[in-house]
């Protein structure tokens, strides 16, 4: 691999690292932000909605621009937006300013959605699915970093925004490095079959739509899990804020290990089979944890669930971009747009549920959408094939 491709890989994986941290931000800091803004938890959780709306609304635009202008140019705006969100949130104690910053952060993530899969498809032509699985390791590391730093800082009585500043500095570094990388957008779009291995369906548009629905249901579940796990640990399980954040850290460690394992697994097992296995294990694990309702069991099972649940997004993204292989950036943006819609709607539902019945009920919500994800995944697998179909 030449130096330019190595730099492109560093940029792509570094972007997933900061995206992982920013996606865990509200959930990790939920209790701190309720004090910071002097607002109840069910109000602060709407910051996640603003973030997701920024992602959903801007995703189609960034997907088209990534194909027209090139993914690197789009990604540069993305890391600036995410960095602005990370650094400014703990500096401005205004609830509505937080909404604006979260929206900007969401548009930054949409830029990453449109750009990074195309970069990895170019760099790792023959190992695309495994390369996407590796992104989840960096995504998980970002989530682990923010939750781990916050746990340590809060445990010592420090400022809750310390982790934001550290990870915001990573965004600044990426913004400096990106202009030194080179990539012609035509290198990706001129010969898509040489860049990514297609996945076939009798109705490509419908199959791509269904892959988006899988991502929607998945994001409904995982955003609830990540948004409320730290609060679930501190309030429902009585662990306190600092230890409660470690419950989310355990999940993230599992997600990192799982993503590393799936780099190897996806070389031998198709994305379609892997998707179903992950869906089944996660749903069964969360049902078991909820039934046992024991602190130790929650720590152990959340770790196991992290191994399989964290990688589902990248598996669905790999399936979606393989279906829409002729327009990778547009396909990845479409799948991510559905995911962002799930992220937007989840707080609207769970905030009301939490206000009425407490934070513990959000795990029931997660289990329901794990089951929904499994059902839609089975439909998607039935619709697609590794071999060309006659009526393609």
CA 153 and chain centroid, separation: 24
If pLDDT is split at 50, 70 and 90, which confidence band does 314 have? confident
CA 373 and chain centroid, separation: 15
Q: Phi/psi of residue 256, each to 5°?
A: -65, -50
Strongest mean pLDDT among 118-132, 248-262, 296-310, 353-367:
296-310
Please provide the size of the chain in residues.
392
**With b meaning 16 or more CB within 10 Å and e meaning fewer, what string describes 191-228?**
ebeebbebbbbeebeebbbbbbbbbbbbbbbbbbbbbb
The C-alpha angle with vertex 116 and arms to 275 and 222, in degrees rounded to 5, equals: 40
Full set of structural domains in the chain with CATH? 3-377 (1.20.1250.20)
The per-residue pLDDT for range 164-184, each reduced to its tens digit, is 898 899 999 999 999 999 875
Residue 284 tokens, joined: 């069964």
The per-residue pLDDT for range 255-273, each reduced to its tens digit, is 889 988 988 898 889 899 9
Kindly report the pTM of this predicted structure. 0.76
The per-residue pLDDT for range 319-365, each reduced to its tens digit, is 998 898 888 888 888 888 898 888 888 888 888 887 788 877 888 88
* Span 60-66, average pLDDT: 86
C-alpha span between 24 and 5 (Å, rounded) = 29
* Span 187-191, average pLDDT: 49
The per-residue pLDDT for range 146-160, each reduced to its tens digit, is 777 877 887 788 888
* Span 7-13, average pLDDT: 93
Residue 245 has pLDDT above 70, yes or no: no
Helix (H) / strand (E) containing 2: none
Residue 96 has pLDDT above 90, yes or no: yes
Question: CB within 8 A of 387, min separation 6: which ones?
Answer: 200
Among residues 72, 75, 123, 66, which one has the least CA distance to residue 330? 66
The C-alpha angle with vertex 29 and arms to 24 and 31, in degrees rounded to 5, equals: 135
**With b meaning 16 or more CB within 10 Å and e meaning fewer, what string describes 65-83?**
bbbeebbbbbbbbbbbbbb
DSSP state of 124: -
Following DSSP, what letter does each residue of 15-39 receive, concatenated? HHHHHHHHHTHHHHHHHHHHHHHT-
79 with 178: CB under 8 angstroms? yes
């Amino acid at each position: 691999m030449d130096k330019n491709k190595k730099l492109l890989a560093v940029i792509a994986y570094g972007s997933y690292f900061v995206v992982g941290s920013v996606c865990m931000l509200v959930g990790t800091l939920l209790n701190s932000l309720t004090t910071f803004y002097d607002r109840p938890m069910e109000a602060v959780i709407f910051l996640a909605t603003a973030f997701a709306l920024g992602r959903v609304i801007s995703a189609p635009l960034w997907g088209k621009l990534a194909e027209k202008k090139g993914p690197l140019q789009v990604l540069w705006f993305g890391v600036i937006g995410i960095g602005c969100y990370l650094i400014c949130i703990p500096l401005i104690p205004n609830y509505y300013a937080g909404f604006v910053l979260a929206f900007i952060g969401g548009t930054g993530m949409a830029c990453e959605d449109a750009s990074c899969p195309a970069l990895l498809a170019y760099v790792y032509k023959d190992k695309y699915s495994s390369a996407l699985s590796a992104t989840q390791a960096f995504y998980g590391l970002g989530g682990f970093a923010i939750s781990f730093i916050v746990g340590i800082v809060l445990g010592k009585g420090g400022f809750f925004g310390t982790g934001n500043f550290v990870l915001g500095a990573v965004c600044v570094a990426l913004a400096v490095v990106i202009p030194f990388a080179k990539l012609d957008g035509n290198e990706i779009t001129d010969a898509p079959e040489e860049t990514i291995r297609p996945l076939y369906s009798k109705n490509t548009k419908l199959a791509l739509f269904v892959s988006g629905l899988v991502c929607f249901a998945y994001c409904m579940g995982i955003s609830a899990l990540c948004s409320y796990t730290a609060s679930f640990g501190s309030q429902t399980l009585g662990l306190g804020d600092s230890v409660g954040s470690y419950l989310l850290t355990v999940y993230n460690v599992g997600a990192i290990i799982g993503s590393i394992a799936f780099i190897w697994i996806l070389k031998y097992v198709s994305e379609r089979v892997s998707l179903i296995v992950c869906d089944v294990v996660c749903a069964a694990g969360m049902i078991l944890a909820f039934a046992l309702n024991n602190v130790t069991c929650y720590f152990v099972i959340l770790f196991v669930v992290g191994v399989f649940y964290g990688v589902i997004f990248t598996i669905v993204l790999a399936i979606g971009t393989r279906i829409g292989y002729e327009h990778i950036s547009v396909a990845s943006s479409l799948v991510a747009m559905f995911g962002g819609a799930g992220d937007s709607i989840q707080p609207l539902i769970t905030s009301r549920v939490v206000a009425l019945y407490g934070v513990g009920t959000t795990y029931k919500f997660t289990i329901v959408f794990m089951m929904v994800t499994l059902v839609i995944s089975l439909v998607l697998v039935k619709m697609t094939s590794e071999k060309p179909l006659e009526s393609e």
